[in-house]
Structure 1
Amino acid sequence: METSTEGPAEAHSGSSAPADPPGGAEPTAAGDAAAVTETVAVAIPPASLSPSRASDFMQCPLLYRFRVIDRLPEKPSEAATRGTLVHAVLERLFDAPAAERTAPRAKSLIPGQWDRLRESRPEVVELFADDPEGERMARWLGEAERLVERWFTLEDPTRLEPAERELFIEAELDSGLRLRGIIDRVDVAPTGEVRIVDYKTGKAPRPEYAEGALFQMKFYALVVWRLKEVIPRRLQLVYLGSGDVVTYDPVLADLERVERKLLALWDAIRLATETGEWRPRPTKLCGWCDHQEHCPEFGGTPPPYPLPVRAAQSDGVPQGRMGPD
């Protein structure tokens, strides 16, 4: 799983200075009932790249803009929220001694992790706002249980001792591009060989689409290589929805190829950021997009561009889809 690690908070270089009050107003004295308590979200040019945001730009440059620059809100989905819940359960299961990492133990973690998720992300409560009897939520939680149970048919947690779980990684390339992401699990063999594991709660893609899923894993492998000067021995995708395990053993040429691809992608993102030209790319996935009301392909209008722009120049950097390699 790869959650977004990009946005204004991360784009700042560690500054913790408070934001200026809205409209440049002077803050009022302490205790004043009219004290200013709001802050204004300021658009900031993208400063790093994660697998999710790289995939967004390849899928549709305008979608990337909506998510990274405009930061338009998106409704939570049952599938994505269930994925977050299952990931949390599998992460927490490894807190228990090896012999106690059983399917019943894992399923018993679901209610508590669901409570924590609702507390940390109140918007997910909206998913079941029209379910007063709780029947749909019960079915949804039941599906989460089935996904957790299926994991035990694919891996044996009593024989695993992860070196890292939900590991945030970040590396800066020689070009200055920062790559970052979150790895579900890192296993290290006694011989020092590294395996990167990612859980997917959906089904494994057909072979002709498998390379797209491996792009995320090769991205992680590139960052690990740049950080540790070690090429991961194996990349492993665990598809809980279909009960499949997909593995790939990368070599140096794979990582060098991904790095070249990301540099070209970043050039295209920087050009779009500077010119304000973010083109939509219609696909079948548009039917699930939360931003149709702002998309020209659906008769919508994007919000005013919040960053300064310069005139576009024809420098040969294309927008649109770029293949996984």
Structure 2
Amino acid sequence: MRTSEQVPGARGAGAVPMSLSPSRASDFMQCPLLYRFRVIDRLPEKPSEAATRGTLVHAVLERLFDAPAAERTPPRAKSLVPGQWDRLLEGRPELGGLFAEDEGGVRLARWLGEAEALVERWFSLEDPTRLEPAEREMFVEAELDSGLRLRGVIDRVDVAPTGEVRIVDYKTGKAPRPEYSEGALFQMKFYALVIWRLKKVVPRRLQLVYLGSGDVVTYDPVPSDLERVERKLLALWEAIRLATESGDWRPRPTKLCGWCDHQALCPEFGGTPPVYPLSVSPAASAEGGQGRMGSDPM
């Protein structure tokens, strides 16, 4: 998410957190040190083919709705892929490095073909000729009564003639097994909470469209769901505040460590993090900082 985040009371010259997004909340739950590297230190990370392909597919699906309903066809959508890739390169020239050693453009052509296949699969899951989104790539921000600001970008918002709201998110990967589905739903409930606080309307449906596996997962939230999410986010924010003030960002090793760009700086792999750029509160350090988090807030 394109956010900055701040913890009230934190001091220092570094990048102090200012708000919370679904991505950064997930980072902290996955590994507090990863959150620090991304939000506090703002360490650069290499672009990946998978993440960049996801960005490209999202751009194509957004732009397709610029066309009249009858012209929203698979061939037209696939024809948008090269132009949207060129636009991505204009805005982020470093992405060209993904295929710097690609003689003859074979890997790039295959990669673009994979993006086209994902776009084409979408048509088997939704009918864009019958959709008129109220919003696409919608930036949302809401401040809770506690002062915590929540931010995010929603892929698509549909509003029925009756006023019912549906939040839609495209995923270019495969749908997780049911026992792991809560992580993806957390992001959607986060968005639903923001919409609820902004518009005073609980979204009727949350919809995840998995282009990698051809699945559509839906969830119909109720106010009690979103109240629980708000309580969890407040607990998470308190843990982030304490870690920011104490400088205690403990790594949490998992199988996902193999995909982390920061292993060389992680104590779990024999590395040493950069010097902490913020002032440390002695009181927070004495309290144990990160250790105050207790059980996982999510």
Shorter-chain TM-score above 0.5: yes
> Which string of whole-angstrom CA distances, capped at 9 and with x for unpartnered residues, describes residues 73-124 of structure 1?
0000000000000000000000000000000000000010000001101111
CA distance in 2, matches of 1:254, 1:319: 22
Deviation, structure 1 residue 319: 6.4
Q: Quick check: 121-130 or 263-272, which moved more?
A: 121-130
From 284, 288, 297, give the equivalent of 2:255.
284
> Which string of whole-angstrom CA distances, capped at 9 and with x for unpartnered residues, describes residues 215-234 of structure 1?
00000000000000000000
- Amino acid in structure 2 at the alignment position of 1:127: L
Distance 1:237 1:103, change over 3 A: same
Specify the alignment match of 1:293 in structure 2.
264
From 300, 314, 317, give the equivalent of 2:287.
314
Specify the alignment match of 2:15 in structure 1.
44
- Amino acid in structure 2 at the alignment position of 1:143: E
Identity %: 82
> Matched residue pairs, number?
288
CA distance in 2, matches of 1:94, 1:177: 34
Matches within 5 A, 1:139-154: 139-154=110-125
Matches within 5 A, 1:190-205: 190-205=161-176
Deviation, structure 1 residue 320: 7.7
CA distance in 1, matches of 2:183, 2:225: 14
* Alignment partner of 1:252 is 2:223: yes
Matches within 5 A, 1:210-221: 210-221=181-192
- Tell whether the 8 Å contact from 1:292 to 1:300 is kept in structure 2 after alignment: yes
Matches within 5 A, 1:163-174: 163-174=134-145
- Specify which structure has the higher proportion of helix: 2
From 103, 107, 127, give the equivalent of 2:98.
127
- Tell whether the 8 Å contact from 1:60 to 1:320 is kept in structure 2 after alignment: no
Q: Secondary structure at the match of 1:168?
A: strand
> Which string of whole-angstrom CA distances, capped at 9 and with x for unpartnered residues, describes residues 243-290 of structure 1?
000000000000000000000000000000000000000000000100
CA distance in 1, matches of 2:103, 2:295: 43
Specify the alignment match of 1:83 in structure 2.
54
CA distance in 1, matches of 2:193, 2:286: 31
* Alignment partner of 1:223 is 2:198: no
**CA RMSD in angstroms, aligned pairs only:** 1.3
Q: Structure 1 length normalisation: TM-score?
A: 0.87
Structure having the higher Rg: 1
CA distance in 1, matches of 2:240, 2:94: 30
CA distance in 2, matches of 1:273, 1:314: 13
CA distance in 2, matches of 1:61, 1:320: 14
- Amino acid in structure 1 at the alignment position of 2:176: P
Deviation, structure 1 residue 314: 2.8
Q: Secondary structure at the match of 1:95?
A: coil
From 6, 9, 14, give the equivalent of 2:3.
6
Q: Structure 2 length normalisation: TM-score?
A: 0.94
